[in-house]
Structure 1
């Protein structure tokens, strides 16, 4: 049986002190853009979650290795019945990866039976929260490692190009935040280039570039997939100048009868254009640090000026959460027509992000249909909201059925 649920409300995702906040106003199936987690809710629900370090010593004692981030979750309200954890294994008809869901509560280390494993997620029925993560059995000598989906991420730090090899199911927001902290006060620039590839854990790789003027270190390195907390460069390219280059990632041939390497990833990088592109915060593919309320405010400010309806409940809500003081509220109320809306929006713009986040939440309560209409996706099944991947699984009103890429099996 494949779950089909009508999703009528939007997922709200906030980032507060490096913690994600999942919140929805109705039952449904939702996916977090930042983490890839899938939530199946039975009611309106709110969950706070963030990643925490694995106890690698404990994993080793259990004969396991990490196969994904470890999430610490706290249910704030409502009921979440099922979780989908993203994995990076490549599933073929010949081999099904033996992925295990680990549940950690207090000092209890429990292996849980998944409902099923899709091409991208491992699904688990739950009745409570604590710490969850994916693991798999340690490599048995002589059996060889299976190829997994991976990422090659590039960061430019002045005349040093940092190259990171990472499993695909890392939390990208944390990668960028970690790199930002590691390179402050310098402005490291993320280079947006095709990053997807398929690599073999613990296999030996080498990186080359099209110009001999640049120096690559180290000469060879292993692809380490067990750590989901430290994002250090696998390779560094010392650049003699800022010019376009081609990069090639080579893998040692696994066939013992053959010597040499084969190219498993390559890209062209216009370093001159990237160097002018700004800091990591400005160029990362997630635009990662713009919370949804701020994005909504700036994206729809022109429409809000003409479409805001009754302001009294909105002003009351803003005053209640101390975005506006009585004098500011009076100033807005004394204006006429559209000038009243413009005055309020100008105040919110000057007050900055936190005020815009509160305005977004107040507007959702006071005029949810306006918010829903403004956030309505241009192409059905996706959303222009930057912090959301949404799928409507069974929309009778459109006389079509849309299924999440990894529909949840509830049998």
Structure 2
């Protein structure tokens, strides 16, 4: 959720959605699944981005800017799907910039980009996302469009560590790509190559998995097309220490949340602000969010919120939000002064 203090233009740093507000307000939004039955009824169009469920709880949205990933916006016909009540309406854009498709909106529900099919596919701005599972010595490689929030992909990797690297590249839908690893250790990449299919915005399964036969500290990784042309230049990808640092941070955050449950329930008053952050990052469901909101007091809201902290990762995220929103309270508790 975003709380907009006044009229103007506001950008979400996670999704890169932009809202043009007529006055102050609250907008609740999340990524939902495309209905394949509705898409089957479209002629020569396919999804060109995630589908967003958007609800304005207070105030009004004048314009919505949806991020696209086209490298040549003039060659590709982009429109917006407005999905409501099991129906799909196609909205022509007000304008298309180098990064966003802009529409006027009157009624909120679900919105997502559509791309007209071309006889010859054009490259799009994409990203290479890496997740490492140390226990299995496996590196998962995702090739996804540039307008997919990495947090959405991260959700399926509960036990893996996100490897932060420079991820940007350009990939062409329908073309074949393959990973190249340079290491002294034995490994197998499966599949050896794969077709890039960006229209699968409902599923973010790994494009490749690289299985190492021994524990490795780092590899040099690149992505090339079937002709050997490098599309994502070689990077030194380091594994050693990454899992330990991330796991220690998550464990410390989760332990803090468990240890100080009683004090946090009594001390935190801006509970919905925290719930908004967790919901916008897909850490809690809409049902959980609604149950928290329905409670009459901040203390009861916090008790309900605690029932939603069902994994170490969610507790760690809750801890991060607490440090940002209630820095002095967290600091005092960590020093043992509260």
TM-score of the superposed pair, with normalisation by structure 2:
0.71
- Report Cα offsets for 1:169-197 as digits up to 9, x if no partner: 012222222322xxxxxx31111111110
Is 1:99 the counterpart of 2:78? The answer is yes
| Cα distance change of structure 1 residues 280 and 200 upon mapping to structure 2, 3 Å threshold | farther
Is 1:221 the counterpart of 2:194? The answer is yes
- What is the CA–CA distance in structure 2 between the aligned matches of 1:278 and 1:242, rounded to whole Å? 17
Alignment length, in residue pairs? 265
RMSD: 3.0
Q: 1:73 maps to which residue? A: 54
User: In the alignment, is the contact (CA less than 8 A) between 1:293 and 1:356 conserved in 2?
Assistant: no
**Which structure 1 residue ranges, 5 or more long, are not aligned?**
1-20, 181-186, 253-259, 283-290, 295-318, 324-350, 361-411
User: In the alignment, is the contact (CA less than 8 A) between 1:43 and 1:78 conserved in 2?
Assistant: yes
- What is the CA–CA distance in structure 1 between the aligned matches of 2:188 and 2:169, rounded to whole Å? 23
Q: 1:112 maps to which residue? A: 91
| Cα distance change of structure 1 residues 198 and 292 upon mapping to structure 2, 3 Å threshold | farther
- What is the CA–CA distance in structure 1 between the aligned matches of 2:17 and 2:79, rounded to whole Å? 16
| Cα distance change of structure 1 residues 173 and 248 upon mapping to structure 2, 3 Å threshold | closer
Q: 2:16 maps to which residue? A: 36
- The 5-angstrom pairing of residues 118-197 of structure 1 reads 118-139=97-118, 143-158=119-134, 159-180=137-158, 187-197=159-169
- Report Cα offsets for 1:275-295 as digits up to 9, x if no partner: 43324985xxxxxxxx9967x
- What is the CA–CA distance in structure 2 between the aligned matches of 1:281 and 1:40, rounded to whole Å? 37
Q: 2:228 maps to which residue? A: 261
- What is the CA–CA distance in structure 1 between the aligned matches of 2:27 and 2:164, rounded to whole Å? 31
- What is the CA–CA distance in structure 1 between the aligned matches of 2:64 and 2:26, rounded to whole Å? 13
User: In the alignment, is the contact (CA less than 8 A) between 1:88 and 1:150 conserved in 2?
Assistant: yes
Is 1:251 the counterpart of 2:231? The answer is no
Deviation at 1:215, TM superposition (A): 1.2
Higher relative contact order (CA 8 A, sep 6+): 1
- What is the CA–CA distance in structure 2 between the aligned matches of 1:168 and 1:82, rounded to whole Å? 22
Deviation at 1:109, TM superposition (A): 1.3
Q: 2:180 maps to which residue? A: 208
User: In the alignment, is the contact (CA less than 8 A) between 1:188 and 1:279 conserved in 2?
Assistant: no
**Which structure 2 residue ranges, 5 or more long, are not aligned?**
251-270, 275-295, 301-317, 328-338
User: In the alignment, is the contact (CA less than 8 A) between 2:38 and 2:87 conserved in 1?
Assistant: no
- What is the CA–CA distance in structure 2 between the aligned matches of 1:354 and 1:220, rounded to whole Å? 40
- What is the CA–CA distance in structure 2 between the aligned matches of 1:352 and 1:190, rounded to whole Å? 19
- What is the CA–CA distance in structure 1 between the aligned matches of 2:319 and 2:147, rounded to whole Å? 33
| Cα distance change of structure 1 residues 353 and 144 upon mapping to structure 2, 3 Å threshold | closer
User: In the alignment, is the contact (CA less than 8 A) between 2:16 and 2:67 conserved in 1?
Assistant: yes
- The 5-angstrom pairing of residues 344-359 of structure 1 reads none
Deviation at 1:357, TM superposition (A): 9.0
| Structure with larger Rg | 1
Q: 1:13 maps to which residue? A: none
- What is the CA–CA distance in structure 1 between the aligned matches of 2:272 and 2:241, rounded to whole Å? 29
- Report Cα offsets for 1:105-126 as digits up to 9, x if no partner: 2133111111100111000011
- What is the CA–CA distance in structure 2 between the aligned matches of 1:57 and 1:108, rounded to whole Å? 10
